[in-house]
Structures are given as C-alpha cells and as structure tokens.
Structure 1
Amino acid sequence: MAVGVWTLVEKSGYLSVLASSTFAASAYILIFAGALVVVTGFLGFGAIIREQKSCLSTYFCLLLVIFLVELVAGVLAHVYYQRLSDELKQHLNRTLTENYGQPRAMEITASVDRLQQDFKCCGSNSSADWQHSTYILSQEAEGRRVPDSCCKTVVTRCGQRIHPSNIYKVEGGCITKLEQFLADHLLLMGAVGIGVACLQVSCVGDQDRGCVEALGSPHLLTEISGPLHTHSPPLPYLSSLPFPLQPRMNHKVSLFPREH
C-alpha cells in the first residue's frame, strides 16, 4: 500500500502525459490490496481470539482475494514495463506538439512543464521537437521558441532564447528520462505485488495450522463437550466399556486397554 500511495501522491504529475492508465491502475490496485490486508489482519486476529471457525473461513477467503489482487498488480506493472518505450515514443511527442498550451488541456500543460523542470530536459527527443508545436506556432507563445519550462532559470518569456546556456539540452530528451523513471517504478510495483503474493502463499499453510490448533484448544473443546473432572461420578453408559477412561487435566480423554 505504501508503494502505491507514494507513487500516486509524489509522482502523479506525470500521469496525464501517458497514453495508458495502466501505471496508475497498478498503483491503485496495490493501495486496495494494502487496505484489504489491514482489514483481513484484524479479522484474522479477532477470529483466533474468539475461536470462531466462520470468521476464519472468511479470513482465508480474503487472503486468497489479496493474493489474486497483488498478483494482478504485479503482472500489470510487468506487462506495461515491456511496452513502455514504444508508448512513450508514439505518444509523448504528439502530446507536446498537439496538446501543450491548449485551453482544453491545461492538466497536460502542467504535467509537461513539471516533467521538463524535474528531469531537466526539453522536448520529447530534443528541444527541436517544439518547432512544430501548436502552442509555439500560435500568438500565445509571444515569440517563444520553447516553453519557459525548458529554461534552466524560469522567468517570463525565457523560452525566446534557445542557447544551451539558457535551456536544457539533454541527449535523448524527456523520453529517455521519463522512460527510466517509469521503468524503475514499474519494476518496484511488480516486485512488490508478485513478491508479497508469493510470500502469502508460503505463509498461508503455517497460518492454517496455527488456527486449527487454536480452534482445537482445550477451552473450545470444553465449550463443545463440557469439562471432564477427575472427581466426577462415572457415567452409566460408560461403565460397560471393556477399558477404563482416565481423564487428564488438559481435558483430553485417553483410552487405555484393560490388562488381562
């Protein structure tokens, strides 16, 4: 859950420049799985304390759901990682040239500005990509050749001057930077999702045995069959057995054959 929350809160500014919502979906799924883990943990703890088999059945069903959810998040992150490079190359340049600076796409404009400032880059592949931008070719650009967010020191209309001393000139442009950033986070989310899911599978068996032992405790047996005391009078229907019953202090009944 922490990985998903961190990804969305700290890095959500770049999500609007992506063509696919898979990156955000993987983070949301991890958050959901983490919240479900918290609820399931309380349920399992209460079930063991109260020794209720029905609650334990629900607990193990929820564990299965969590396993599947985390596995899905991990697989989604891994699949998106495989096609990340192609998507960025096809979509990011189109976003910069067609959507940046448009009234209907202010969120994209803010994302691109933050992207270029955070990664110290300009354009999808280079600053030359802005030459064909709808925004740069419009009157709103006021003579800018690149957006002001390309500047090393952002001031009004600093994008009018594209000298390397004024704007970022990064080999590979923003695509290379963003691809590396997303790849690292996708690998982390995939590893967390699949790793925790596999860990749960290995732990379910131990939890199952522990819960069964808890449900088979002397207190629960006493509630079901009643306490056995050494000073209790023998029951009539037990007197005909060919061997005596010897109750122990732990409420378990031991059967010993009669010696001949």
Structure 2
Amino acid sequence: MGVSEEKNETCGTVCLKYILFTFNFLFWLAGGVVMAVGVWTLVEKSDYISLLPSKTYAVSAYILVLAGAIVMVTGVLGCCATFKEKRRLLRMYFVLLLCIFLLEILAGILAYVYYQQLNEELKQNLRQTMIQKYKQKSYEHITSAVDKLQQEFKCCGSNSSSDWGESIWIRSSDAEGRVVPDSCCKTPTEFCGRRQHPSNIYKVEGGCMSKLEKFILEHLKIIGAVGVGIACVQIIGMVFTCCLYRSLKAEPY
C-alpha cells in the first residue's frame, strides 16, 4: 500500500470516527426523548389505561421506555467504540443498534395496529366498564379513572349522561338519590349529581368515548412517529458503523 493510499485510508477513518461520534451524541439525546415520550405516555394519563380492555397501548409505551434506556447506554458505548477503534466494541454496538431498531419498529407497529382497532374496543367496553364497575369494591382505580376522565374532558357517561341510568351503583341505595356521579357536574360538590339539568352537568357536551378516543389516537400517533422516526435514523448509524468496522484492521487474538 502506498503512502497516499495510507493517508487516504487514515483520513477516511478519521472522518468516519467524527461522523459516528456526532451521530452517537445525537443518538444519546434521541434516547432521552424516546424514553421521555414513553414515560410521559404512562405517567401523564396512566389512569385512563385502566379503562382500556387491551394492553397494547401500555405495552407500546413500555417498549419505548425500554428502547430509550438502551439507546442512551448504546450512545455511550458507541462513543467508546468509535474512539478506541475496537472492532469487538463496534460489533457489540451494531448488535445493540439492531435490537433497538427492532424494538422501536415493534412499538410503531403496535401503535398502528391499536390505532385501527381502538374505536371498536371503546364502543364495546367503555360503557360496560362505567356502568358495571364504577363505585364497586376492588374497582377503586376504575372509579378514580372515570371521575378524572369526566372532569378533565368535561363529559358525562360513555355516549351520553343517560348511560348512567343503567349503572349498578346509580340503581343502588349507595348512590343516595344521584342520577349521575358527582364528577359529571360542572362544579363538583357532594350530591350535585342528584340534578341532571344541563346547567348543572355535562349533558349537552356529550359522552366521554369520542373524547377519550381522540386523546389516545393523538398519543398513538406520537408513539408511532417517534418509534419509526428514530428507527429510520438508526439505519444511518448502522451504515456508518459497518463502514468504520471495515476500515479498521482486524484485532489480533
């Protein structure tokens, strides 16, 4: 190999190192964003997850949290592998990139699949959950989620306030004369649910199903976009890793 070829190889390797280092730094930041989106999805509206019959929504968010954490660790490993020029570290880094890539594609696919079936699931289950489990023993988390849902989205019942007429709790003596839960009221106070006039409760505003569906669909779009978007960026990182790996001399055993 001539001197000029050696210089070109060295120059090319150095360029690849700095490009890959820059990528890893941005990748590390992206990992924090991915993990933050997953945590935000689980924590910000975690109560609503209990109202969904399928666990797909929660699983896709957990996958993002896991992928984000691995991304941040991988970013550090990538920087070490790049500057130490260790082929073994680069191999490990590439495998981790591939695993994260598959995880994030999976999160994106799950979000897309659930996006397609969400409307039907809510139609079939939200109303039954409200009328059968609200204020029932061992379903305190459902009660809390329904109250929060009705207050935050300014709605009452699944499709309308009349849904509460079939509620196990409303029909029992425990309701103490209420026709809707107090959380349906525009200004919640004890026993305000005894009067269902539109000036008192969210009657004309409609039910909660369409509002919850819209909220979850927006989150699913974010989960899907983040998962697939970061996964596509990783392809660039894997290409640069392969190039750097090939430019380095084999390590002696």
Corresponding residue SS for 1:167: coil
Q: Which of the numbers 157, 161, 171 marks the counterpart of 1:127? A: 161
Contact 1:122 1:170 in 2 (8 A): no
Q: Does 1:71 align with 2:105?
A: yes
Partner of 1:117: 151
Corresponding residue SS for 2:163: helix
Q: Which of the numbers 124, 141, 147 marks the counterpart of 1:90? A: 124
Task: Quote the Cα distance in structure 2 between the aligned partners of 1:197 and 1:71.
Answer: 7
TM-score of the superposed pair, with normalisation by structure 2: 0.83
Partner of 2:175: 141
Partner of 1:209: 243
Identity %, equivalent residues: 57
Larger radius of gyration: 1
Structure 1 runs not aligned, ≥5 long: 225-260
Task: Quote the Cα distance in structure 1 between the aligned partners of 2:226 and 2:69.
Answer: 15
Partner of 1:167: 201
Task: Quote the Cα distance in structure 2 between the aligned partners of 1:28 and 1:54.
Answer: 30
Q: Which of the numbers 37, 47, 70 marks the counterpart of 1:36? A: 70
Letter in 2 for 1:153: T
Letter in 2 for 1:17: L
Task: Quote the Cα distance in structure 2 between the aligned partners of 1:172 and 1:49.
Answer: 60
Task: Quote the Cα distance in structure 2 between the aligned partners of 1:87 and 1:172.
Answer: 19
Corresponding residue SS for 1:18: coil
Shift of 1:200: 1.0
TM-score of the superposed pair, with normalisation by structure 1: 0.80
Contact 1:125 1:171 in 2 (8 A): no
Letter in 2 for 1:123: G
Partner of 2:31: none
Corresponding residue SS for 1:89: helix
Task: Quote the Cα distance in structure 2 between the aligned partners of 1:12 and 1:67.
Answer: 26
Letter in 2 for 1:43: L
Contact 1:123 1:174 in 2 (8 A): yes
Q: Does 1:9 align with 2:40?
A: no
Larger deviation, residues 45-54 vs 23-32:
45-54
More helix by share: 2
Query: Aligned pair count?
Result: 218
Shift of 1:100: 0.4
CA gap of 1:162–1:123, structure 2 versus 1, over 3 A, is: same
Task: Quote the Cα distance in structure 2 between the aligned partners of 1:39 and 1:156.
Answer: 51
Task: Quote the Cα distance in structure 2 between the aligned partners of 1:44 and 1:23.
Answer: 31
Q: Which of the numbers 114, 121, 129 marks the counterpart of 1:80? A: 114
Contact 2:94 2:241 in 1 (8 A): no
Partner of 2:3: none
C-alpha offsets along residues 31-60 of structure 1, whole Å, 9 cap, x if unaligned? 000000011111111122222211111100
Q: Which of the numbers 36, 40, 46 marks the counterpart of 2:80? A: 46
Task: Quote the Cα distance in structure 1 between the aligned partners of 2:157 and 2:112.
Answer: 27
Shift of 1:121: 0.1
Shift of 1:94: 0.2
Q: Note the aligned Cα RMSD (angstroms).
A: 1.6
Task: Quote the Cα distance in structure 1 between the aligned partners of 2:204 and 2:88.
Answer: 61
Shift of 1:170: 4.4
Shift of 1:208: 2.7
